[in-house]
Structure 1
Amino acid sequence: MPMTVRVLISDKMDPRAAAIFRDRGIEVDERPGLTPEELKSIIGDYDGLAIRSATKVTKPILEAATNLKVVGRAGIGVDNVDIPAATARGVVVMNTPFGNSITTAEHAIALMFALARQLPEADASTQAGKWEKNRFMGVEVTGKTIGLIGAGNIGSIVATRALGLRMKVAAYDPFLTPERAVELGVDKVELDELLRRADFITLHTPLTDQTRNILSRENLAKTKKGVRIVNCARGGLIDEQALKEALDSGHVAGAALDVFETEPATASPLFGTPGFISTPHLGASTSEAQVNVAIQVAEQMSDYLLLGGVTNAINMPSLSAEEAPRLRPYMALAENLGKLAGQILGEDVRSVAVEVEGAAAALNQKPITGAVLAGLMGTYSQTVNMVNAPFLAKERGLDVKEVRHDREGDYHTLVAVEVGTSHGVRRVAGTLFGNKAPRLVEMFGVEVEAELTGSMIYIVNTDAPGFIGKLGTALGEAGINIATFNLGRRAAGGEAVALVAVDGDVPPAVVGTLSKLEGVREVVPLRF
């Protein structure tokens, strides 16, 4: 009987999210407003956690989430999730970067117009019974230059809207290619040039160590006198005290912030400053966006929990629900190759190279590499999976490389793992029989055909007559039944290897007995 999959929705979310979970056979509880203590006390019962911005997924919460596999954020920002802690525990963190892109971009355009025509001040004045027509002299946006700091999903939408308003668009984004800039119709520039040229500046970048205070006091001083600034991205991108001073001096003609360094922003040096407009983080607050992100997060989480598909993950390569079934046998092969190398080589691992060729070379290699690392790092951690395996490998200082070969080799498809050790490079490789059954075909330079399954024994010995009989006798006397016996050798009379599948575990005493057999150089019990 299939195991029950359970998801908790801990923030207020459109009811269509819960409906999608239920339609796909997932049990869902909707409990918005939980305190951190309440969430911590129940989170261990759930496989998935769907949130918006209110729930804080902290390290203590994650430590209590013993069954948690995925956190889904209905929205873009994941500031409320401890990503390193989630990764270390093997929990996938997803967001929905496209569900509210249009809404946020439109809010930035709306704030730009509000600044250009002083709409909030004019509204307040008029409703106060005044008729100060001459006081509110605005500016046109037509023909003006808008400078985009960030030209990703939202920034590119702002660019198209601005071009439709007959504005000139300059964009600063280190990841914007010249080809994409031409496609968008924007002028790709460095930050200093943008600051010098722009009549309006809008920010559309995440908050990172590189972008924090990107509009610092120094950079604000580089802007054109009379510039107007809009931020609907993240608080912390602008030095708020420096912005106030620039507004007070008149160097900056106006600023509109939807986001603040500290939220909820119940106090700010900017409040009450002439030329300043604020909204309470409304960038994603439209009915359409709320529906879109709720539907998307439910679909993404369901795909992962039921099919293994990974979409819009922050801490794991993408793997579509359509790709997952095709990649599953390759990932099983890759994980077993990693387990084989890890169990035999132990702590003596310096680097890992994952090679694919033949049919495997046409596939998404990231999940295959992730599976290799999950198998390899399982030697060092009992809670390793594809999410935290790269994290653990990085912690250990392992150099990880991916190699793709277009050539056709002896097998129609091949996955190989080369592990660098203090004694040189050791290689294992495998293929799929019938495109679904993983098989080991090479182990440390020796051709061998074996299914990696259950409990096995790896033995290196000098090739000599009678050895197999002695080995079988020793296992029989220990009460261990042989399931399969796989052999390979470099040359007659040279080094030989055996992979013996047995029923049940292999006690240390039996390993000791086998190690004393004449000609035996190495014995390692394996578990798959």
Structure 2
Amino acid sequence: MTVRVLISDKMDPKAAAIFRERGIEVDEKPGLTPDELKAIIGDYDGLAIRSATKVTKALLESAAKLKVVGRAGIGVDNVDIPAATARGVVVMNTPFGNSITTAEHAIALMFALARQLPEADASTQAGKWEKNRFMGVELTGKTLGLIGCGNIGSIVASRALGLKMKVAAFDPFLTPERAVELGVDKVELDELLRRADFITLHTPLTDQTRNILSRENLAKAKAGVRIINCARGGLIDEGALKDALDSGHVGGAALDVFMTEPATASPLFGTPGFISTPHLGASTSEAQVNVAIQVAEQMSDFLLLGGVTNAVNMPSLSAEEAPRLKPYMALAEKLGKLVGQVLGEGIRSASVEVEGAAAELNQKPITGAVLAGLMGSYSDSVNMVNAPFLAKERGLDVREVRHEREGDYHTLVAVTVGTAAGEVRVAGTLFGNKAPRLVDIFGVGVEAELTGSMLYIVNSDEPGFIGKLGTVLGEAEINIATFNLGRRAAGGEAVALVAVDGDVSRGVVAQLCALPGVREVVPLSF
């Protein structure tokens, strides 16, 4: 089966070359209008973009085959993430390809602010020699406040420490141990604003970070502070920044990004102490090559091997891990499907447990596969990408449990779901490390392969039942492929899992329900 990828933005030719080397058919069509892109996107399994292409909900609705969107760069604000997730489309970025380039641009702007380089250059080239006008400040000994200390922020911290600056970082995800490792002070935002001589932002634009440098927070900042933003537009209230520059409370500002781009007009333009560049953070030849190579490699690994790297809407799964996890994910999805089909709408929570050899693996994909099977009972076109989203929409409480011990089986995956009536559990293992088998269903030990069309039957453990069941199916010309039985105790409740050739009609299900001792019959499909 041919796998096809569309590159819809201008990208280094090495990206297309990598796709072709991996056996993927690729078309390079930068500059398409939204309508032109919408007309052809249905033919492609993957879409490689930079910042120009807008992956909207309307575009995704036309992308019937699309499995992955790869953004060559960090920001994915040109992709409708919720819409992509709801349709089961993986969205990847390349957060490391331009990290150094962007960090270096932030440092360059910090130097430019400290020594008023753009204004001094313009003055000198205008024939003036205003040596006494441009009195800068040293960076040595100054405090740099980092808002965001992830990939790029940590590089900026390293460079700043090399310049003998002090570094304070505000980042809710920065652990105390990591702060010590980086050599930075982990602080709250108010303390950063109070202490920092320079502030540089390195955080994505979210509801929590939008206008993080608001008018109120700018007022809290140290008088004369200089501010640099090479992250995303919208992190700073640009109108408030203009006022703070005019009043002198902010001593200078350098923005590489703006709320509206292209920024052909801004109230900040022409303001003394303000420097601007046209979103150049990732604009080096090295970065352009790096992100193109990375996005092509990541998309190829996903489309050909199932590896998931740097996805923003599902857990990562390396190309090396994928083959080992594949049988576990197949088992997990079958367990989820079993529970979903038997219990229906009443599930309130799900706990995914791994034990033995399974406990040594990346559990996130296993949990995702359980949810894909579970949510598939409620919605069409469910996969590991949109299943957690659908589970959250339904208010499902999802937990993960890892047991290092090895029990009766060398490896085990168990799913416990909560309902209004209490909790029930199913569990499965792998035979030969590759063949999924059910070993426990609601406390009844069985050994069954979950495959094709099946019947789940709960009945009283009485002589003659199997014969009566076989008679009903035989008269309906339904062939039994496999028959698996389990019971709680002799003469008590018994469970049968019957694999059959073909679907079982409602009429046959009704006949089975009418048999003496039968308490429940549920047709299953795997």
User: Common fold, TM-score beyond 0.5?
Assistant: yes
Paired residue for 2:183? 185
CA distance in 2, matches of 1:515, 1:225: 79
For residues 220-270 of structure 1, what are the alpha-carbon distances to aligned partners after superposition, in whole Å with 9 as ceiling and x for unaligned? 112222111100011111111111111111111110000011111111110
Paired residue for 1:307? 305
CA distance in 1, matches of 2:163, 2:112: 15
CA distance in 2, matches of 1:179, 1:434: 42
Paired residue for 2:130? 132
Paired residue for 1:483? 481
C-alpha deviation, 1:323, in angstroms: 0.5
For residues 359-415 of structure 1, what are the alpha-carbon distances to aligned partners after superposition, in whole Å with 9 as ceiling and x for unaligned? 111111110010000001100111000000000011111111111112221111111
CA distance in 1, matches of 2:278, 2:260: 11
Give the AA of the match of 2:20.
R
SS of equivalent to 2:345:
coil
CA distance in 1, matches of 2:466, 2:317: 45
Paired residue for 2:422? 424
SS of equivalent to 1:459:
strand
Matched, 1:50 2:29: no
C-alpha deviation, 1:507, in angstroms: 1.2
SS of equivalent to 1:429:
strand
Paired residue for 1:14? 12
SS of equivalent to 1:75:
coil
Paired residue for 2:100? 102
Give the AA of the match of 2:400.
E
Paired residue for 2:39? 41
Paired residue for 1:285? 283
For residues 134-161 of structure 1, what are the alpha-carbon distances to aligned partners after superposition, in whole Å with 9 as ceiling and x for unaligned? 2211111112111111111111101111
C-alpha deviation, 1:518, in angstroms: 1.3
Paired residue for 1:466? 464
Give the AA of the match of 1:57.
V
CA distance in 2, matches of 1:184, 1:348: 48
C-alpha deviation, 1:90, in angstroms: 0.3
Count of residues paired in the alignment: 526
For residues 415-463 of structure 1, what are the alpha-carbon distances to aligned partners after superposition, in whole Å with 9 as ceiling and x for unaligned? 1111111221111110000111000001111101000001111111111
Given candidates 415, 439, 442, the residue that maps to 2:440 is: 442
SS of equivalent to 2:118:
helix
CA distance in 1, matches of 2:470, 2:191: 77
C-alpha deviation, 1:133, in angstroms: 1.7
SS of equivalent to 1:346:
helix
Matched, 1:337 2:335: yes
Listed as ranges, the matches of 1:8-407 within 5 Å are: 8-407=6-405
SS of equivalent to 2:231:
coil
C-alpha deviation, 1:125, in angstroms: 1.3
CA distance in 1, matches of 2:438, 2:268: 66
Give the AA of the match of 1:210.
Q
CA distance in 2, matches of 1:370, 1:187: 37
Calculate percent identity across the aligned residue pairs: 88
CA distance in 1, matches of 2:500, 2:213: 65
CA distance in 2, matches of 1:223, 1:443: 61
Give the AA of the match of 1:272.
G
CA distance in 2, matches of 1:417, 1:225: 57
TM-score normalised by L of structure 1: 0.99
Note the residue ranges of structure 1 that are not aligned, 5 or more in a row: none
Paired residue for 1:525? 523
CA distance in 2, matches of 1:525, 1:82: 38
Q: Which moved more, 1:267-276 or 1:169-178?
A: 169-178
SS of equivalent to 1:340:
helix
SS of equivalent to 2:338:
helix
CA distance in 2, matches of 1:334, 1:174: 33
Matched, 1:497 2:475: no
C-alpha deviation, 1:193, in angstroms: 1.6
SS of equivalent to 1:347:
helix
For residues 31-64 of structure 1, what are the alpha-carbon distances to aligned partners after superposition, in whole Å with 9 as ceiling and x for unaligned? 0011111111111111100000000000000111
CA distance in 2, matches of 1:178, 1:418: 35
Give the AA of the match of 1:197.
R
CA distance in 1, matches of 2:301, 2:131: 57
Note the residue ranges of structure 2 that are not aligned, 5 or more in a row: none
CA distance in 2, matches of 1:94, 1:491: 52
Give the AA of the match of 2:370.
V
SS of equivalent to 2:346:
coil
C-alpha deviation, 1:98, in angstroms: 0.5
